[in-house]
């Protein structure tokens, strides 16, 4: 465990990643190992999200994007999905005071507006309630798929070309980026995946092109401030070459 007194020494606060993303993985396995229902793992995952959000805010990270619910998650048991939406409503209603104390602004990305009325309304309220905050931007990726995001961007570009407001030969990598959910955000610097898996799971595929990947065997409900600090230290120890020699 990292000694809290050494954090300011180990982590260079002048060289923090501007944009960190986390795949919050391992909730169900955490619960299974303890003979608990899957939803209990998801509940504990919310506690970890609160803890890591506070830590990121305290450290001065600008943007934190977390994978909350993927489009593939619709394939899970209907009761688990319903309980996940209940948790979404719980999070949106009960975390507002904590987010306000920490000056955190929330934004939701993905096809979240197609969710049922309960979670959709709760997420909309959370965004509007924190809109004036000026600290950490917390992006919640809900009903998100990177493939779907790219398809959405291509359709929008095609419409603009057809309407004559965009020339086809103007389409380049930078322009594609401006049609993504993350258009106004810093480039993704660091992607962390707890839970022991070694894949991106259809998360921020375009944005992660040159992101540093840090994989951890710690299941998300156990992921702590110290684990975040370890990931940041590992990031700072790497040489980022962006495809160069």
Strand partners, 140: 66, 108
Q: Is the dihedral of CA 169, 170, 172, 175 positive or negative?
A: negative
Query: CATH classification of 16-237 is 3.40.1180.10, yes or no?
Result: yes
Structure confidence at residue 245 (pLDDT): 57
**29-33, 38-42, 181-185, 218-222, range with the lowest pLDDT:** 38-42
Given 58, 73, 77, 226, the catalytic residue: 73
Sheet with 63-70, strands from edge to edge, namely 105-109, 137-144, 63-70, 19-23, 190-193, 212-215
Averaged pLDDT, 8-32: 91
Structure confidence at residue 82 (pLDDT): 85
Strand partners, 142: 69
Structure confidence at residue 188 (pLDDT): 98
- What are 40-77's pLDDT values in tens digits? 999 999 999 999 999 999 999 999 999 988 877 777 88
Torsions phi, psi of 115, nearest 5? -70, 165
Given 25, 27, 102, 143, the catalytic residue: 25
Structure confidence at residue 168 (pLDDT): 96
pLDDT, the chain, mean = 92
Structure confidence at residue 133 (pLDDT): 98
- What are 161-198's pLDDT values in tens digits? 999 999 999 999 999 999 999 999 999 999 999 999 99
Averaged pLDDT, 81-101: 89
Among this protein's residues, is 75 annotated catalytic? no
Among this protein's residues, is 184 annotated catalytic? no
How far is residue 228's CA from residue 232's CA, in Å, rounded to a whole number? 6
How far is residue 86's CA from residue 11's CA, in Å, rounded to a whole number? 37
The domain spans of the chain are 16-237
- What are 143-156's pLDDT values in tens digits? 999 999 999 999 99
For residue 139, what are its two tokens?
């992006």
Averaged pLDDT, 230-241: 91
């Amino acid at each position: 465990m990292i000694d809290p007194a050494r954090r300011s020494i180990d982590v260079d606060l002048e060289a923090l990643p501007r944009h960190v993303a986390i795949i919050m993985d391992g909730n169900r396995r955490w619960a299974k190992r303890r003979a608990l229902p899957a939803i209990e793992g998801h509940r504990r995952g919310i506690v970890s999200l609160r803890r890591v959000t506070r830590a990121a805010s305290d450290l001065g990270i600008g943007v934190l994007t977390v994978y909350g619910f993927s489009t593939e998650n619709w394939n899970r048991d209907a009761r688990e999905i319903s309980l996940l939406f209940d948790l979404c409503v719980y999070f949106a209603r009960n975390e507002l005071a904590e987010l306000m104390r920490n000056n955190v602004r929330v934004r939701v990305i993905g096809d979240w507006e197609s969710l049922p009325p309960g979670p959709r309304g709760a997420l909309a309220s959370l965004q509007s309630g924190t809109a004036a905050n000026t600290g950490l931007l917390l992006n919640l990726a809900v009903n998100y798929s990177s493939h779907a995001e790219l398809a959405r961007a291509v359709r929008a570009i095609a419409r603009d070309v057809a309407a004559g407001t965009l020339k086809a030969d103007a389409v380049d990598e930078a322009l594609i980026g401006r049609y993504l959910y993350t258009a106004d955000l810093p480039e993704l610097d660091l992607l962390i995946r707890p839970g022991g898996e070694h894949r991106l799971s259809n998360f921020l595929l375009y944005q992660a092109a040159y992101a540093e990947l840090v994989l951890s065997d710690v299941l998300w409900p156990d992921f702590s401030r110290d684990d975040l600090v370890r990931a940041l230290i590992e990031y700072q120890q790497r040489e980022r070459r962006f495809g160069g020699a």
